[in-house]
């Protein structure tokens, strides 16, 4: 894979080494536009910034539809279709003028988003749905207006298309509203990222007094103080103080990392128990968080490879309609006269824009997102489903994604039959009473959960870097690392776990293994992926040992010590190989790759930054739900294709008829037949969408 990536050997502490030269630094303020990114559901881009199309949000379709509805209904009531009078329709003198005026208002108000969309499509030289709808609207509107004028000027009564015009506009607005409702709103990853860093820093001045200053005013070399529990405001090096820093969300390392003078800290990480004095090393663009921000915006500016089948079908229909209309026009001009040629050409164009197409995809999307929601999936970008159904690779983060991300007791072993397990746990919890190590907290709460009360110790001392020792009931005990114990004990513990040995008067009497636990559904997910021919790869910011343990348990390929940039490069390399990549993660360090991957799936319990960068959110934080996602992706795409067939398929019959191919033998598409076919395909499309089901959950 990415073995020759020069970053892959870097430990996650070397964040300063992320390659600056490769990308430009863009300040946060310039990214306000990304807010609109996921409204862009009708163009062929799944992430906004893509190709600079941030402005696809052409209006609030709910409001547009509801306000257009009464106008549209009046137009439809007052525009009997020639030869096909619906019982509720009526006319009165000059009602055609009323209809013409109302239609003009309607096309200006309700038609605008479609025309704006069509302009965008033409700019990209890829006419699609918006172009097709605009064509249908324009032709039916303009021709109908012409018929009204003609009836007053020449007295000639020509069939108009006001009914088709109004119903087409309403159905298209409705379809877009349904789809807009189904798709979640995008958050702003950049903004959330910025929130991780406190606004103010406490700067230590030369006379040792403290001045609170906005982080933006920090300079390299400033000395800042960070109290216990605070977030670190900037990247720097510890001058004084010791503490454990939680970097799990930033780097993916599962354990809080102990740091002291000389060690580097990252802005945005959380300080544990000690007060730290930190010399600022990087500010602004050079900081870890800024680099992650840069990677995210870089990812968002990559063109998406989302293939949007609806868009494609609409594009074909657009060309077919225009070609068929031209042919009809030329042929009818040769064999008949210009008015006849115009009539057939116009009818062809109007018929080519099928109403059912407006609902074919939105109804499936609506059904599919609600099914997804019932399975713990929030699909923010419907294209995620289309892409995921033929994904090749899934990159999975470890900490918090495949594992719970909590450092917990995995196993307690008896090494001596003098004691019961309860007694060992009571001793463990007792001796840990004198330690503030994360291991201590985990063991104490483990004992607590099982209602085991700790043995009370007379004295406890911390052996730095090795463990704790203490005296109870005349015995001396130690709880120390295997290394400190010095003898090799053959103990079978979960791979990657941290082991501590309980020693009584020099004899090992018990052992406790701690680690990050696999989520219960992780194994099954990996199996399911393999069965679906999706290659799983674990990419973690955690160390080699922790990564190896989990990878052996899951039988999955892995990459350890991955910085956000490494993960990003990994996704990029795979994409460059032509593979479709799904990325699953929860942390800030996963955000750039979530944004870059063809489909990004974020774990809900993770950071807001990850959620904002993803296309799909696992609302239950359960990796097992990814299985449902893959199934949903397959079934949704199949439904969409079926619906496009039924929605557009009617055109294959209707277009030639409308073009007058059978006119010589007296068969043309009467408006009545046209309307019936059209309603029929709309009904089929709706029923088919509702029939989308998922297999019952195992």
Q: Taking the CB of residue 160, how many other CB atoms lie within 10 A of it?
A: 26
Q: Which is nearer to ligand AMP, 202 or 258 (CB)?
A: 258
Q: Which residues on neighbouring strands pair with residue 469, listed in sequence order? A: 461, 478
Site for ligand AMP in 60-119 (CB under 6 A): none
Q: Measure the N-to-C terminal CA separation of the chain; round to a whole number of Å.
A: 34
Cβ atoms of residues 281 and 236 within 8 Å: yes
Q: Which is nearer to ligand AMP, 27 or 445 (CB)?
A: 445
Largest pairwise CA distance in the chain: 117
Q: Which residues contact 673 (CB under 8 A, 6 or more apart)?
A: none
Helix (H) or strand (E) holding 328: helix 309-335
- Smallest distance, ligand AMP to C-beta of residue 698, A: 38
Site for ligand AMP in 124-183 (CB under 6 A): none
* Eight-class DSSP state of 17: G
d(CA 217, CA 481): 44
Q: Which is nearer to ligand AMP, 203 or 431 (CB)?
A: 431
Q: Which is nearer to ligand AMP, 41 or 255 (CB)?
A: 255
Two structure tokens written together for 71: 């106008």
According to CB under 6 A, which one of 498, 522, 613, 668 is a site residue for ligand AMP?
498
11 makes contact with ligand AMP (CB under 6 A) = no
Q: Which is nearer to ligand AMP, 439 or 584 (CB)?
A: 439
Q: Which is nearer to ligand AMP, 148 or 468 (CB)?
A: 468
- Smallest distance, ligand AMP to C-beta of residue 433, A: 10
Residue number with the shortest CB distance to ligand AMP?
481
Question: Tokens 């915006």, residue?
Answer: 297
- Smallest distance, ligand AMP to C-beta of residue 420, A: 20
Q: Which is nearer to ligand AMP, 1 or 466 (CB)?
A: 466
DSSP β-ladder status, 200-204 and 210-214: antiparallel
According to CB under 6 A, which one of 266, 393, 440, 570 is a site residue for ligand AMP?
440
Q: Which stretch binds ligand AMP (CB under 6 A): 145-153, 157-165, 437-445, 552-560?
A: 437-445
- Smallest distance, ligand AMP to C-beta of residue 408, A: 14
Identify the burial level of 214 via C-beta atoms within 10 angstroms of its C-beta, where 0-12 means exposed, 13-18 middle and 19 or more buried. exposed
Selecting among 46, 397, 542, 586, the annotated active-site residue is 397
Backbone angles phi, psi at 204, to 5 degrees: -90, 120
According to CB under 6 A, which one of 298, 500, 522, 651 is a site residue for ligand AMP?
500
Two structure tokens written together for 660: 């007058």
Site for ligand AMP in 458-477 (CB under 6 A): 465-468
Among 643, 697, 637, which residue's Cα sits nearest to residue 390?
Answer: 637
508 to each of 131, 173, 441, 460, how far by Cα in Å? 77, 74, 22, 18
According to CB under 6 A, which one of 106, 173, 447, 479 is a site residue for ligand AMP?
479
Report CA torsion sign: 115, 119, 124, 125.
positive
- Smallest distance, ligand AMP to C-beta of residue 267, A: 24
x/- site string to ligand AMP, residues 174 to 193, per CB under 6 A? --------------------
Q: Which is nearer to ligand AMP, 259 or 375 (CB)?
A: 259
Site for ligand AMP in 375-434 (CB under 6 A): 432
Among 300, 385, 290, 372, which residue's Cα sits nearest to residue 639?
Answer: 385
Helix (H, G, I), strand (E, B) or coil at 239: strand
- Smallest distance, ligand AMP to C-beta of residue 441, A: 9
533-559 burial by CB neighbour count: b if 16+ within 10 A, else e? Answer: ebbbbbbbbbbeebbebbbebbebebb
- Smallest distance, ligand AMP to C-beta of residue 509, A: 14
Q: Which is nearer to ligand AMP, 251 or 643 (CB)?
A: 251
Among 231, 186, 247, 298, which residue's Cα sits nearest to residue 608?
Answer: 186
According to CB under 6 A, which one of 181, 225, 437, 634 is a site residue for ligand AMP?
437
Question: Tokens 């110790």, residue?
Answer: 457
Q: Binders of ligand AMP: how many residues, by CB under 6 A?
A: 15
Q: Which residues contact 331 (CB under 8 A, 6 or more apart)?
A: 341, 660
DSSP β-ladder status, 498-504 and 507-518: antiparallel
Cβ atoms of residues 644 and 221 within 8 Å: no
- Is 612 in the active site? no
Among 301, 392, 416, which residue's Cα sits nearest to residue 599?
Answer: 392
- Smallest distance, ligand AMP to C-beta of residue 691, A: 56
- Smallest distance, ligand AMP to C-beta of residue 301, A: 41
Cβ atoms of residues 595 and 47 within 8 Å: yes
Helices (H), 600-624: 608-613
Q: Which is nearer to ligand AMP, 376 or 541 (CB)?
A: 541
d(CA 194, CA 231): 12
- Smallest distance, ligand AMP to C-beta of residue 464, A: 7
- Smallest distance, ligand AMP to C-beta of residue 484, A: 6
Site for ligand AMP in 231-290 (CB under 6 A): 258
Q: Which is nearer to ligand AMP, 177 or 477 (CB)?
A: 477
According to CB under 6 A, which one of 28, 435, 589, 681 is a site residue for ligand AMP?
435
d(CA 142, CA 149): 11
d(CA 545, CA 601): 26
x/- site string to ligand AMP, residues 589 to 628, per CB under 6 A? ----------------------------------------
Q: Which is nearer to ligand AMP, 479 or 584 (CB)?
A: 479
Strand ranges (DSSP E) for 377-466?
377-379, 393-396, 403-414, 459-463
- Smallest distance, ligand AMP to C-beta of residue 512, A: 7
According to CB under 6 A, which one of 60, 481, 532, 670 is a site residue for ligand AMP?
481
Question: Tokens 């354990």, residue?
Answer: 255
Catalytic residues: 397
Residues engaged in binding ligand AMP (CB under 6 A): 258, 432, 435, 437, 439-440, 465-468, 479-481, 498, 500
């Amino acid at each position: 894979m990415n073995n020759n990536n020069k970053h892959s050997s870097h430990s996650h502490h070397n964040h300063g080494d992320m390659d600056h030269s490769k990308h430009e630094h863009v300040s946060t303020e310039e990214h306000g536009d990304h807010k609109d990114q996921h409204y862009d559901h009708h163009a062929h881009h799944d992430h906004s910034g893509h190709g600079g199309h941030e402005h696809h949000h052409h209006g609030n379709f709910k409001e547009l539809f509801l306000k257009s509805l009464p106008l549209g209904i009046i137009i439809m009531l007052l525009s009997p279709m020639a030869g096909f009078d619906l019982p509720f329709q009526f006319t009165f003198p000059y009602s055609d003028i009323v209809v013409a005026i109302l239609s003009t208002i309607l096309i200006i108000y309700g038609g605008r988003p479609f025309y704006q969309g069509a302009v965008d499509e033409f700019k990209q030289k890829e006419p699609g749905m918006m172009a097709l709808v605009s064509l249908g609207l324009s032709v039916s509107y303009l021709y109908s207006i012409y018929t009204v004028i003609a009836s007053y000027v020449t007295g000639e009564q020509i069939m108009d298309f006001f009914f088709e015009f109004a119903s087409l506009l309403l159905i298209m607005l409705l379809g877009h509203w349904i789809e807009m409702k189904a798709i979640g709103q995008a958050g702003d990853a950049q903004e959330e990222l910025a929130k991780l860093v406190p606004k103010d820093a406490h700067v230590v001045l030369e006379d040792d007094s403290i001045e609170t200053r906005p982080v933006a005013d920090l300079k390299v070399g400033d000395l800042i103080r960070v109290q216990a529990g605070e977030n670190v405001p900037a990247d720097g090096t510890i001058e004084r103080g010791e503490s454990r820093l939680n970097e799990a969300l930033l780097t993916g390392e599962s354990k809080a990392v102990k740091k002291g003078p000389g060690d580097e800290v990252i802005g945005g990480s959380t300080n544990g128990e000690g007060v730290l004095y930190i010399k600022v090393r990087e500010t602004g663009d050079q900081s870890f968080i800024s680099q992650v921000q840069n990677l995210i915006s870089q990812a968002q500016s990559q063109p998406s490879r989302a293939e949007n089948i609806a868009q494609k079908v609409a594009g074909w229909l657009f060309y077919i309609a225009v070609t068929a209309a031209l042919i009809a026009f030329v042929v009818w001009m040769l064999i008949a006269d210009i008015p006849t040629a115009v009539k057939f050409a116009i009818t062809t164009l109007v018929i080519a824009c099928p109403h059912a197409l407006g609902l074919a995809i939105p109804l499936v999307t609506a059904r599919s997102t609600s099914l997804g929601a019932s399975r713990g999936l929030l699909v923010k970008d419907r294209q995620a489903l289309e892409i995921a159904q033929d994904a090749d690779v899934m990159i999975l983060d470890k900490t918090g994604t495949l594992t719970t991300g909590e450092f917990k007791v995995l196993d307690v072993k008896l090494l001596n039959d003098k004691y019961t397990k309860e007694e060992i746990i009571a001793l463990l919890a007792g001796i840990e009473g004198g330690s503030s190590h994360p291991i201590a907290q985990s063991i104490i709460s483990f004992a607590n959960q099982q209602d085991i009360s700790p043995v009370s110790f007379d004295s406890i001392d911390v052996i730095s870097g090795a463990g704790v020792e203490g005296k109870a009931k005349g015995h001396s005990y130690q709880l120390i690392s295997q290394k400190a114990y010095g003898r090799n004990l053959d103990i079978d513990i979960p791979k990657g776990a941290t082991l501590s040995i309980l020693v009584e008067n020099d004899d090992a009497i018990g052992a406790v293994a701690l680690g990050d636990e696999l989520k219960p559904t992780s194994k099954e997910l990996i199996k399911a992926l393999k069965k679906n021919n999706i290659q799983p790869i674990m990419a973690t910011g955690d160390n080699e040992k922790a990564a190896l343990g989990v990878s052996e348990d899951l039988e999955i390929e892995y990459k350890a010590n991955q910085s956000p940039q490494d993960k990003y490069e990994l996704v990029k390399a795979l994409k460059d190989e032509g593979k479709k990549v799904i990325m699953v993660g929860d942390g800030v360090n996963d955000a750039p790759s979530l944004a870059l991957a063809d489909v990004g799936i974020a774990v809900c319990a993770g950071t807001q930054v990850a959620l904002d960068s993803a296309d799909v959110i696992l609302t239950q934080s359960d990796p097992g739900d990814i299985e449902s996602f893959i199934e949903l992706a397959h079934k949704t795409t199949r439904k969409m294709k079926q619906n496009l067939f039924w929605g557009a398929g009617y055109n294959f019959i209707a277009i030639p008829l409308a073009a007058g191919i059978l006119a010589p033998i007296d068969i043309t598409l009467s408006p009545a037949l046209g309307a019936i076919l059209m309603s029929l395909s709309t009904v089929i499309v709706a029923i088919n969408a509702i029939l989308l089901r998922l297999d019952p959950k195992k």
